C-alpha cells in the first residue's frame, strides 16, 4: 500500500482526481470503478473541473460499486441519481458505458450476477475508487462479508442504515443493496481508497494496520498488490505508521 496524506478533504479529493487523470491520459479506454457517499463529492467536483480543462472520458467505461435494492434509478435518493448529479451529467462519459447495478431489477440476485458478468466482459476494473464506512465496509460489503465474494445482494448493517438515513424519509432507509463483492474489488488492477474526516480515523487505522479478517472488510486492501490510500490529516490521525507514511512519500508524484 502506498499512503498519500493531504492537509484537508479537498486536497485529498484533488489528489485522487489527479491519479484518475493521469491513468486516463495513459489509457483513454480506462475501466473505472466508482463509489458514492459524501466523501466522494469533492472528488467528483475535482474530476468535473478537470474535464472542463480538457480531460476527456469519451472512451472510458465506469462501473459503480453498489445500488440499493428496490431503488428506481430515477429516484433522487438512488446512487444512480447521485452519479448523474455529481459527475455523469457534467462529463463526456457515454451513458451507455456508465454502469450501476439496477436496484429495481425484478430479480436482484440475477441482476448481481449480470453485473459481475458485465464487469468481466469489460475486461475487469482497471482502477477502483473506494470510500470506507465507519464500520470498515467497502461498497456495501458489511462486516462478515467473505473476502472472495462476488457481486451479490447484501443486507445493510444497522449502523450503515443509520449513517445513510439522512437521504431518506423516516423509516424508509433501504435494508438491502446490490454490491460488488470484496473479490470483485480485489480483482481490480489498482485500487484507490479515499477517506477524510475524523469520523473515519478509527476505521482507517483498523483497515490498514489491524489484523486482516472479515470483521473489517476493508482489511482486504492489505492484500491488494496496487493500492493507494489517500487520506486527509484527520482521517490519518489514528495510524501508527503515519509519520513514516508522510516521510516515505513526501509530495509523491503520480507516476513514481
CB 138 within 8 A of CB 219: no
Given 4, 19, 31, 35, the residue binding ligand GLP (CB under 6 A)? 35
How many CA atoms within 13 Å lie on the side-chain side of 49?
A: 11
| 174 sits near ligand GLP (criterion: CB under 6 A) | no
Catalytic residue among 137, 141, 164, 224: 137
State yes or no: residue 141 binds ligand GLP (CB under 6 A): no
Shortest Å, Cβ 26 to ligand GLP = 26
Minimum gap (Å) between residue 39 Cβ and ligand GLP: 3
- Interface characters, 46-65, with ligand GLP (x: CB under 6 A): -------------------x
Of 75 and 251, nearer to ligand GLP (C-beta) is 75
Q: Is 140 in the site for ligand GLP (CB under 6 A)?
A: yes
Whether 90 is catalytic is: no
Among 103, 133, 136, 217, binds ligand GLP (CB under 6 A): 133
Contact status: 181 vs ligand GLP (CB under 6 A): no
137 is catalytic: yes
Using the rule CB under 6 A, which residue among 42, 103, 131, 183 binds ligand GLP?
131
Count the residues of the shown chain that bind ligand GLP, applying the rule CB under 6 A.
Answer: 14
**Smallest separation (angstroms) from ligand GLP to the CB of 69:** 13
Q: How far apart are the first and last CA of the chain?
A: 14
Looking at 111, 126, 135, 141, which residue is catalytic? Answer: 135
3-state SS track over the chain: CEEEEECCHHHHHHHHHHHHHHHHHHCCCCEEEECCCHHHHHHHHHHHHHHHCCCCCCCCEEEECEEECCCCCCCCCCHHHHHHHHCHHHCCCCHHHEECCCCCCCCHHHHHHHHHHHHHHCCCCCEEEECCCCCCCECCECCCCCCCCCCEEEECCHHHHHHHHHHCCCCCCCCEEEECCHHHHHCCCEEEEEECCHHHHHHHHHHHHCCCCCCCHHHHHHHCCCEEEEEECCCCCCCCCHHHHHHHCCCCCCCC
Q: Please, which residue, 69 or 132, has the CB nearer to ligand GLP?
A: 132
Residue (15 or 36) nearer to ligand GLP, CB:
36
Burial class (CB in 10 A: 0-12, 13-18, 19+), 241: middle
Given the residues 66, 67, 111, 232, select the one marked as catalytic. 66
Q: Identify the residue among 14, 39, 173, 206 touching ligand GLP (CB under 6 A).
A: 39
Q: Give catalytic residues, as residue numbers.
A: 66, 135, 137, 142
The footprint of ligand GLP (CB under 6 A) covers 35-39, 65-66, 131-133, 139-140, 160, 164
Amino acid at each position: 500500500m502506498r499512503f498519500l496524506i493531504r492537509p484537508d478533504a479537498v486536497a485529498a479529493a484533488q489528489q485522487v482526481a489527479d491519479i484518475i487523470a493521469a491513468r486516463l491520459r495513459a489509457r483513454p479506454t480506462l475501466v473505472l470503478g466508482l463509489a458514492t457517499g459524501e466523501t466522494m463529492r469533492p472528488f467528483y467536483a475535482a474530476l468535473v473541473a478537470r474535464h472542463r480543462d480538457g480531460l476527456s472520458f469519451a472512451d472510458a467505461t465506469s462501473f459503480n460499486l453498489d445500488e440499493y435494492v428496490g431503488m428506481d434509478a430515477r429516484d433522487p435518493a438512488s446512487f444512480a441519481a447521485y452519479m448523474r448529479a455529481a459527475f455523469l451529467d457534467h462529463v463526456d462519459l457515454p451513458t451507455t458505458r456508465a454502469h450501476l447495478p439496477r436496484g429495481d431489477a425484478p430479480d436482484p440476485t440475477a441482476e448481481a450476477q449480470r453485473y459481475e458478468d458485465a464487469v468481466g466482459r469489460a475486461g475487469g476494473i482497471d482502477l477502483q475508487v473506494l470510500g470506507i464506512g465507519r464500520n470498515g465496509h467497502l461498497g456495501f460489503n458489511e462486516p462478515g462479508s467473505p473476502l472472495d465474494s462476488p457481486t451479490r445482494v447484501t443486507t445493510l448493517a444497522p449502523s450503515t442504515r443509520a449513517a445513510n438515513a439522512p437521504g431518506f424519509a423516516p423509516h424508509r432507509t433501504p435494508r438491502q443493496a446490490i454490491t460488488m463483492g470484496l473479490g470483485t474489488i480485489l480483482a481490480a488492477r489498482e485500487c484507490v481508497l479515499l477517506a477524510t474526516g475524523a469520523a473515519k480515523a478509527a476505521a482507517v487505522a483498523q483497515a490498514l494496520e489491524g489484523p486482516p479478517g472479515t470483521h473489517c472488510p476493508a482489511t482486504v486492501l492489505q492484500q491488494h498488490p496496487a493500492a493507494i490510500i489517500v487520506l486527509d490529516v484527520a482521517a490519518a490521525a489514528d495510524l501508527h505508521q503515519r509519520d513514516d507514511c508522510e516521510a516515505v512519500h513526501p509530495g509523491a508524484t503520480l507516476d513514481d
